[in-house]
């Protein structure tokens, strides 16, 4: 285990914690207090730590995700399995709000050739997001849903390109997980930089004096 720690750069105490929590399969026991760990353990350790520390996932979610990665040899919907485990818990919304959101999202999905319905794994998160945005009165954001959907279509093509070039089936599933969790974090960062640049273009003084507020103000 000391070698595994040296190889991965992860403290022994953290490795023991991951083992206890079932995030890392046990090594091959060679004596009562010795076990052998392989290259797979190093890769898995890095993945688990990345999901927790960079992806911000809970231990329980990571447990589901690594299970999905390990079940990756199942022939059906390997990418979907990993993604389902990543869906965050979402607050409940009222029945009327829910119906409205389902209508909006179903229409949007039909236009973009997406499969969507109330039972879809991302439905709770998406419904909660659009209902909350509406409840806060930021309808301007919702009016551009179709533009966001167009951009999501472009992102998805690049996402799938990067998953596609991986070699083996378990690597494909792992790439989908990394792309989903870390890719989201990376894209959020790029979006912040681009927003700041766009903000400077529109408000060149880096301030927003009253005179630059929209005419409706």
State which of positions 135-194 bind its own copies (CB under 8 A).
Answer: 135-138, 140-141, 143-144, 147-149, 151-169, 172, 174-175, 178-180, 182-194
| 20 forms part of the interface with its own copies (CB under 8 A) | no
| Closest CB 84 distance from its own copies, rounded Å | 10
Query: Cα–Cα distances in Å, from 116 out to 17, 79, 151?
Result: 38, 16, 18
Binding to its own copies, residues 35-64 (CB under 8 A):
43, 46-47, 50, 53-54, 56
* β 34-36/28-31 pair status: antiparallel
What does the chain come to in residues? 217
| 83 forms part of the interface with its own copies (CB under 8 A) | yes
Stretch that binds its own copies, among 13-21, 22-30, 59-67, 106-114 (CB under 8 A): 106-114
Q: What gap in Å lies between CA 84 and CA 163, rounded to an integer?
A: 17
The token pair that represents 179 in the structure block: 């792309």
| 195 forms part of the interface with its own copies (CB under 8 A) | yes
Residues 124, 127, 129, CA angle at the centre, nearest 5°? 105
Stretch that binds its own copies, among 19-27, 31-39, 59-67, 79-87 (CB under 8 A): 79-87
| Closest CB 89 distance from its own copies, rounded Å | 9
| Closest CB 34 distance from its own copies, rounded Å | 27
Give 23 or 47: the residue with its C-beta nearer to its own copies: 47
Strand partners, 112: none
The token pair that represents 102 in the structure block: 């389902």
Give 29 or 138: the residue with its C-beta nearer to its own copies: 138
| 90 forms part of the interface with its own copies (CB under 8 A) | yes
| Closest CB 6 distance from its own copies, rounded Å | 14
Q: What gap in Å lies between CA 214 and CA 217, rounded to an integer?
A: 6
152, containing H or E segment: helix 145-164
Give 34 or 186: the residue with its C-beta nearer to its own copies: 186
Give 66 or 174: the residue with its C-beta nearer to its own copies: 174
Q: What gap in Å lies between CA 64 and CA 82, rounded to an integer?
A: 8
Strand partners, 36: 28
């Amino acid at each position: 285990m000391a070698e595994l720690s040296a190889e991965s750069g992860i403290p022994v105490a953290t490795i023991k914690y991951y083992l206890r929590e079932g995030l890392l399969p046990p090594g091959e026991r060679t004596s009562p207090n010795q076990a052998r760990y392989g290259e797979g353990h190093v890769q898995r350790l890095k993945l688990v730590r990345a999901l927790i520390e960079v992806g911000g996932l809970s231990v329980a979610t990571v447990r589901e995700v690594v299970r999905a990665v390990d079940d990756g040899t199942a022939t059906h919907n390997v990418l979907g399995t990993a993604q389902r485990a990543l869906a965050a818990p979402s607050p409940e919304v009222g029945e009327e709000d829910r119906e409205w959101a389902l209508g909006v999202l179903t229409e949007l999905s039909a236009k973009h050739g997406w499969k969507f319905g109330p039972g879809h794994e991302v439905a709770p998160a998406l419904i909660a997001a659009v209902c909350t945005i509406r409840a806060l009165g930021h309808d301007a954001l919702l009016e551009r849903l179709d533009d966001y959907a167009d951009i999501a279509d472009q992102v998805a093509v690049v996402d799938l390109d990067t998953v596609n070039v991986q070699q083996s089936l378990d690597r494909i599933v792992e790439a989908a997980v990394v792309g989903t969790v870390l890719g989201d974090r990376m894209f959020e960062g790029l979006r912040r930089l681009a927003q700041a640049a766009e903000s400077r273009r529109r408000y060149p003084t880096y301030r927003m004096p009253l005179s630059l507020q929209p005419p409706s103000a």
